[in-house]
């Protein structure tokens, strides 16, 4: 019997193509940078990508993902942290909401989440912890599920690891106080979501926006389209 369900966000709960989305994400950031007087937008985008990679590969449990990102970023960026941290803050407040047009909600997802919560299950938004909380909350709103109360949302402010490291999943189960064997991970990315199985979490691979990595050979416990997932969740018992 499951006590908690962990959901990937992008491509699983929210209909979004992240490769396409990120092109517009960086375009908007570059436009805002120029408006604010930061004209070396190529260096800015390159450094954000490099610092994000530093965050993804970090396995130091003493540092949050945000701390790793900021330390790496400002080691290689010419502007003072206090000044440019404000730039990031304004970007997520003013520019990020414009990106909603590049996503769509999935019909049926809000009903599924509501049903699981009514059964007493803990719900975790287990998206890769490379974004601040505001960016995750906004995308939950775009998916029309931002109003629910979740047990945990894995933002970069509070997490110390990223997918696909098993430490990311271990940190989640430790935070919510549920043993791995009583958790289910639901996601559409073979390489990032299915490693949860390495610590005993059961997995459901959603095939609507399937991301498959030929370099890995993880096998889910269950797989199917969203319609199959909805049926699966309806059959879970009430706690």
How far is the first Cα of the chain from the last one, in angstroms, to the nearest whole number?
Answer: 8
What pLDDT, on a 0 to 100 scale, did the predictor assign at position 100? 98
Q: Report pLDDT digits (tens) over 7-45.
A: 999 999 999 999 999 999 999 999 999 999 999 999 999
Question: Residue 5 pLDDT more than 90?
Answer: yes
Q: Report pLDDT digits (tens) over 49-89.
A: 999 999 999 999 999 999 999 999 999 998 999 889 999 99
Q: Report pLDDT digits (tens) over 154-179.
A: 999 999 999 999 999 999 999 999 99
**Alpha helices, DSSP H only, in the chain?**
18-35, 41-57, 65-75, 81-90, 109-118, 133-142, 166-176, 190-193, 226-234
How far is Cα 23 from Cα 143, in angstroms, rounded to an integer? 20
User: pLDDT confidence of 216, banded at 50, 70, 90?
Assistant: confident
Q: Is the pTM of this model over 0.75?
A: yes
Contacts 24+ apart (CB under 8 A), 159-162: 159/64, 159/65, 159/129, 160/58, 160/60, 160/61, 160/62, 160/63, 160/64, 160/65, 161/58, 161/59, 161/61, 161/65, 161/129, 162/55, 162/56, 162/58, 162/65, 162/128, 162/129, 162/130
Q: Report pLDDT digits (tens) over 200-213.
A: 999 999 999 999 97
Q: What's the helix, strand, coil split of the chain in %, to 5?
A: 50, 15, 35
151-169 burial, b at 16+ Cβ within 10 Å, e below that, comes to bbbbbbeebbbbbbbbbbb
How far is Cα 218 from Cα 197, in angstroms, rounded to an integer? 8
What pLDDT, on a 0 to 100 scale, did the predictor assign at position 239? 87
What mean pLDDT is predicted for residues 90-118?
A: 98
Q: Which of 72, 42, 66 is nearest to 54 (CA)?
A: 72
Q: Are strands 183-187 and 152-153 parallel, antiparallel or unpaired?
A: unpaired
Query: What is the CB neighbour count within 10 angstroms for residue 176?
Result: 16
Starting at the edge strand that comes first in sequence, how are the strands of the sheet with 122-125 ordered? 152-153, 122-125, 4-7, 183-187, 202-206, 222-224
């Amino acid at each position: 019997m499951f006590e908690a369900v962990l959901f990937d966000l992008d491509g699983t709960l929210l209909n979004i193509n992240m490769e396409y989305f990120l092109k517009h994400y960086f375009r908007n950031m570059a436009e805002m940078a120029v408006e604010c007087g930061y004209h070396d937008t190529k260096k800015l985008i390159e450094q954000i990508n490099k610092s994000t990679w530093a965050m993804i590969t970090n396995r130091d449990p003493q540092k949050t993902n945000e701390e790793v990102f900021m330390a790496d970023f400002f080691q290689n960026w010419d502007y003072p942290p206090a000044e440019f941290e404000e730039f990031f803050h304004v970007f997520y407040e003013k520019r990020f909401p414009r990106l909603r047009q590049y996503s769509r909600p999935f019909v049926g997802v809000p009903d599924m989440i509501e049903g699981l919560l009514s059964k007493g299950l803990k719900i975790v938004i287990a998206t890769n912890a490379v974004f601040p909380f505001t960016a995750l909350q906004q995308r939950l709103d775009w998916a029309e599920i931002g109003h629910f109360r979740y047990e945990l949302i894995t933002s970069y402010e509070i997490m110390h690891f990223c997918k696909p490291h098993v430490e990311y999943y271990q940190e989640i189960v430790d935070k919510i106080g549920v043993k791995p064997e009583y958790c289910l991970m639901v996601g559409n990315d073979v390489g990032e979501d299915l490693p949860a199985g390495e610590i005993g979490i059961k997995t459901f691979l959603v095939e609507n926006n399937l991301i498959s990595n030929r370099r890995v050979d993880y096998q889910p416990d269950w797989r199917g389209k969203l319609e199959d997932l909805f049926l699966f969740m309806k059959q879970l018992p009430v706690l």
